[in-house]
Structure 1
Amino acid sequence: MTHTPSRTSRSRAAATTSTLALVNQTAILDALKTSGPMSKVQLGEATGLSPATVNRITAALMADGLVEHRGVEASTGGRPPIVLAFVGSARVVAAVQIHSEEITGALVDFEGVVVERVDRALPAGSPPQGLAVYRSVLDELERLGRERGTPPLAVGVSVTGIVTPDSVVSGLDPARWAELNVTDLSEGRDVDVIVENDANALAIGELHRGIGRDSPNFVTLLLERGLGAGIVTNGSVYRGHNSAAGEIGFLLVESSSFGKRFEESGDLETRLGAATITRLADEEGIPHSGSIGAMELIALARSGDERALPLASRVLDDVARAVGAIASILDPQTIVLGEGLDRESDFVAPALRSRLEGRIQRVPVIATASLGADAVLLGAAEMAVRAAGRYAYLA
């Protein structure tokens, strides 16, 4: 009996074919980005794609301006092979990082270079102004892109909260944000807007442009509004059933924790938060202006302020608890220290190792984000690049 595909079957077949084409394009672009200029024969060897597929895809990428001729190789007989190179500067995306008290936006080209930058304060108030500030940042980035002749092809947004499976963004500061949905962040935009938790954005950036090139199993750790982790296992970001994997700030620290409720901030991240650190610093008579965070406290201790030493040791104990729990459950190769933990990393990393050695089975490598101070922002950009139509977003 002859089977006639239904409309659903046809759409699934088309989707499969489209996805395969994107996967192949991704393989070629990633090979050129990672290894530099290559001939078509070398691309075939690096990706496992047939000569016909390499020819077809590179022709399309050259037409789009993402790949260009870059001379020829020395000939060993016959026509010398043409060398192809990735041209990441030909396209840009917009990346937006929503911090606790400010929003940073950037135009980032496909090579990960920031070409324009916008910063806006995020004031507390009633009604909350967060969404209006976010839209003003994105409007400015779009204007700058048009002026450059390279409007952003997609938008990547990192948030300090959780993006739930039903697209609600939870865990943001209610003094700055009203109830927020992903559609609020994409409203009025003509391009894809990808929204992700900041620790996951950092993990995606490191996976494709940093530590992930050598390590398929690592965890990013950052201390922003809360303490969060981005988990990469076998080269893929793990988000969990409710997209809340990595909320290590909700780790319960001591027996008294079972007598408390933690609705907005978890037990561990409350101990590490600026409000708690500031209160304890005041009790110890430690001088500071405004609030003081965990890394500022550690910097004071390193500078010789003996009053800060016990509190700094307490902070490091708490971070070590988080790293120890992550290492014991996931066994990552590397723990990547991101924002809020990276500024004193030359002191923090060995301090964490010394606390854990001999107390857990294996202490992972503890390193700072290879993408630097803009690691989360560049991770948001990488999300946008992979949503811009020339990548299969498999993370």
Structure 2
Amino acid sequence: MGGTSIKYGLVDSNGNIIHKGAIATGFEKEELLQNLTIIVDEYVSGSSGGVKGIGISMPGIVKENGFLLTAGAIQSFFGLNLKQEIEERTGIFTKIENDANAVAIAEKWLGNASDKRNYVCVILGTGVGGGIVINDQVYRGHNGMAGEFGWMIIDGIKDITDIETKSITQRAAIVCGLINQYNIQARKRKEKEVTDAREIFQKEEDGEQLAIEVVDQFLDDLAVGILNLIGCFDPEIILIGGAISSNEIFIKRIQKRLIMLEKKHQSMSFLIGKGLPSVVATKLKNDAGILGAVYQVKIAQEQLNKEMSK
């Protein structure tokens, strides 16, 4: 579930996606819950083997019991126990997972972290989300808030009323960061604003000075954020997710910019070639959220079956 659309699918226990679809999200609570129920009912009626579980990945601070402290842009779900709501409406076991955590889980199951025990996922989109895996376990923190990398502050907070304007999200996300920073400068220069990051990269390639400056700062800000994560978590690998992760040129530019910063960091430069993590794109792309949510259901049911067999 995202702020724009709900992507859904039917998945088997091996992670094969049998069917996929999508609908617009909508933000009214009851309508949204009804739409989720309809999706499940259609799969239940059309599946010969039955539906054994429901996994939902979504933005926000998600507690392990399915209670949503926040829900990204879906404000009508704030303070809702979504697990309880879905189970009452469908009668089917349900797990709710933060979307960035779901990506991290999916990459461990079927992606580029299958042989890693300690790694970090950085999800670039409207904001900057993250999934942290320590010793093969997702680290959630006290409130389920761990991984809100976009909240990190990077510089220049003196005399600023809202210091979140200096956060990673508002400097190094794709929408709130790159696009927003470009448009702020475009308005000052009375130039045309953009709505798509691809336009900015194309303008940069075409030699537009504004795009060159904004992209350069964007790459620096994102690399600084990643450098801080390396110092905090010492991961084996850092995975970059979100739609932009499909852009191989972008991934190479981030890798190059990060290496440049590591060389300029006196303490970290000593560790170059001695185990600093590589930065790679996620493998599962737009399917990661669905697969990560389903895997949580799979594991929970396997544990339940073991307990029942004792």
TM-score class, shorter:
0.7 to 0.9
Q: Partner residue of 2:70? A: 170
How far, CA to CA, are the matches of 1:120 and 1:161 in structure 2?
20
- 368, 374, 381: which one aligns with 2:281: 368
Q: Partner residue of 2:22? A: 119
Question: Residues 135 and 326 (structure 1 numbering): CA distance in 2 closer, same or farther, change over 3 Å?
Answer: farther
How many pairs are equivalent? 289
2:156/2:166 contact within 8 Å kept: no
For residue 311 of structure 1, report the CA deviation from its aligned partner.
0.9
Q: Partner residue of 1:189? A: 90
Question: Residues 310 and 303 (structure 1 numbering): CA distance in 2 closer, same or farther, change over 3 Å?
Answer: same
- SS across alignment from 2:235: coil
- 147, 162, 170: which one aligns with 1:270: 170
| Amino acid across the alignment from 1:99 | G
Question: Residues 192 and 347 (structure 1 numbering): CA distance in 2 closer, same or farther, change over 3 Å?
Answer: same
Rg bigger for which structure?
Answer: 1
How far, CA to CA, are the matches of 1:391 and 1:288 in structure 2?
53
For residue 177 of structure 1, report the CA deviation from its aligned partner.
4.8
What's the C-alpha RMSD, in Å, of the aligned pairs? 3.0
How far, CA to CA, are the matches of 2:241 and 2:106 in structure 1?
11
Q: Partner residue of 1:319? A: 222
- Matching of residue 356 in structure 1 with residue 269 in structure 2: no
How far, CA to CA, are the matches of 2:31 and 2:145 in structure 1?
26
Question: Residues 211 and 249 (structure 1 numbering): CA distance in 2 closer, same or farther, change over 3 Å?
Answer: same
1:346-375 residue CA offsets vs partner (Å, 9 max, x unmatched): 333434433433123454111111223312
2:177/2:218 contact within 8 Å kept: no
- 130, 141, 153: which one aligns with 2:52: 153
Counterparts of residues 186-265 of structure 1 (less than 5 Å): 186-256=87-157, 259-261=160-162
1:220/1:336 contact within 8 Å kept: yes
1:320/1:355 contact within 8 Å kept: no
1:338/1:369 contact within 8 Å kept: yes
Question: Residues 299 and 111 (structure 1 numbering): CA distance in 2 closer, same or farther, change over 3 Å?
Answer: farther
> Larger deviation: 355-364 or 331-340?
355-364
2:107/2:284 contact within 8 Å kept: yes
For residue 228 of structure 1, report the CA deviation from its aligned partner.
1.3
2:129/2:148 contact within 8 Å kept: yes
- SS across alignment from 1:388: helix
2:126/2:176 contact within 8 Å kept: no
Higher relative contact order (CA 8 A, sep 6+): 2
When the two structures are superposed, what TM-score results if normalisation uses the length of structure 1? 0.64
- Matching of residue 382 in structure 1 with residue 295 in structure 2: yes
Percent identity between matched residues is 24
Q: Partner residue of 1:329? A: 232
Question: Residues 237 and 154 (structure 1 numbering): CA distance in 2 closer, same or farther, change over 3 Å?
Answer: same
When the two structures are superposed, what TM-score results if normalisation uses the length of structure 2? 0.80
1:207-242 residue CA offsets vs partner (Å, 9 max, x unmatched): 222233211111111023421111111211111122
Question: Residues 301 and 145 (structure 1 numbering): CA distance in 2 closer, same or farther, change over 3 Å?
Answer: farther
Question: Residues 172 and 279 (structure 1 numbering): CA distance in 2 closer, same or farther, change over 3 Å?
Answer: closer
- 200, 210, 213: which one aligns with 1:307: 210
- Structure 1 stretches of 5 or more lacking a match? 1-97
How far, CA to CA, are the matches of 2:120 and 2:143 in structure 1?
18
How far, CA to CA, are the matches of 2:29 and 2:199 in structure 1?
26
How far, CA to CA, are the matches of 2:191 and 2:11 in structure 1?
41
For residue 257 of structure 1, report the CA deviation from its aligned partner.
6.1
- Structure 2 stretches of 5 or more lacking a match? none
> Larger deviation: 366-375 or 273-282?
273-282
How far, CA to CA, are the matches of 2:163 and 2:71 in structure 1?
12
